[in-house]
Amino acid sequence: MSRALQEAVRTCEAITRRRARNFHYGLRFTPEDRRWAMYAVYAWMREADDLADGAGPDRAERSRRIAKFRADTDAAFVGQPDDTQPCMVALAEAVRRFHLEPGEFHDMLEGQMGDLDAARFETWDELRAFCYRVAGTVGVVCIRVWGFHGADAIRLAVDRGIAFQLTNVLRDLGEDLDAGRCYLPLREYAAMDLSPDDLRAWRLPDRGTEFIRAQCERARAHYERSAPLDRMIDASCLPTLWAMTQIYRGILGRIKTDPRITVAGRARLSSFRKAWIAWRATRMKPEASSR
């Protein structure tokens, strides 16, 4: 790597470590020759997300900034990154080495554009489309960096990404409702004779518990459906996928056990549990995902 690229990657890693502890935790198990590219992808995603954040400039200005970011991304994809933006410098090299596709990054940005206004989804189809754009695409980009085989791998990577995003939606439920965002389908609230305000205040505990557990079941089904992916990615990168999945499934399990935590706190794994996951990941044999 050139010195400029090394400096860009260091910046991307620092962003990942600071802003995404669970993601960074899992990436420690990725081989070094691919880990740097994952830092570049995460730093790019973080920048895109921050541009769309509701705080700060008005909607028109945020929209303009996202459009500029998209143009800068397209420049990186043709090998002409803005050398003042570390994530673009690192991304351009990741594109060159791992043959990343611009469409997935465009879809991610479409997902961020959808978050310019306080999101409110009526149906599961709307929520799924959002989850695909902001997380299913990430799953696909990850396996492009890690390496994969099998005709179904991309579809399964989308499902795993959606599972992660559904877990995030449940974990951040109270914070999002306070910000005016209602990702869980409003029609499903209505079917339970429940409102987002009822859930936020935990006024109807039995209905709230049933509603949250139904959402947990949807996420669990996506984890189960995507399980064959573990046998399709490069064996050296399986520990990363396994560790990330264990962390997110563990968070989902905490929520299913105590649904009220979605509005009364934030579901987390203990340091001991994470240490156990790390111990297991470091002892996984490459043969486990061989063809």
What confidence score (pLDDT) does residue 50 get?
A: 84
pLDDT per position in the chain (291 positions), as tens? 789 999 999 999 999 988 877 677 778 889 999 999 999 999 999 998 888 765 556 778 878 888 899 999 999 999 999 999 999 999 999 999 999 999 999 999 888 776 666 689 999 999 999 999 999 999 999 999 999 999 999 999 999 999 999 999 999 999 999 988 999 999 999 999 999 999 999 999 999 999 999 999 999 999 999 999 999 999 999 999 999 999 999 999 999 999 999 999 999 999 899 889 988 998 885 544 433
Token pair recorded at residue 162: 């959606």
Question: Which run of H or E residues covers position 50?
Answer: helix 32-52
Which pLDDT belongs to residue 290? 39
Selection from 111, 90, 101 nearest residue 37 by Cα: 90
Give pLDDT, residue 41. Answer: 94
Q: Compute the distance between CA of residue 190 and CA of residue 198 in angstroms, rounded to an integer.
A: 11
pTM comes to 0.90
Q: How do the domains of the chain map onto residue ranges?
A: 1-116, 118-284
User: In the prediction, which pLDDT does 87 show?
Assistant: 95
pLDDT of residue 288: 42
CATH 3.40.50.720 for domain 118-284: no
For residue 287, the model assigns a pLDDT of: 47
From CA 126, how far away is CA 258, in angstroms rounded? 27
Are the folds of 1-116 and 118-284 the same?
A: yes
User: Residue 58 has what pLDDT?
Assistant: 75
What per-residue confidence (pLDDT) applies to 118? Answer: 65
pLDDT of residue 289: 41
Q: Topology of domain 1-116, per CATH?
A: Farnesyl Diphosphate Synthase (1.10.600)
Give one word for 82, left, alpha or beta, with left for phi > 0 and alpha for psi -120 to 50: beta
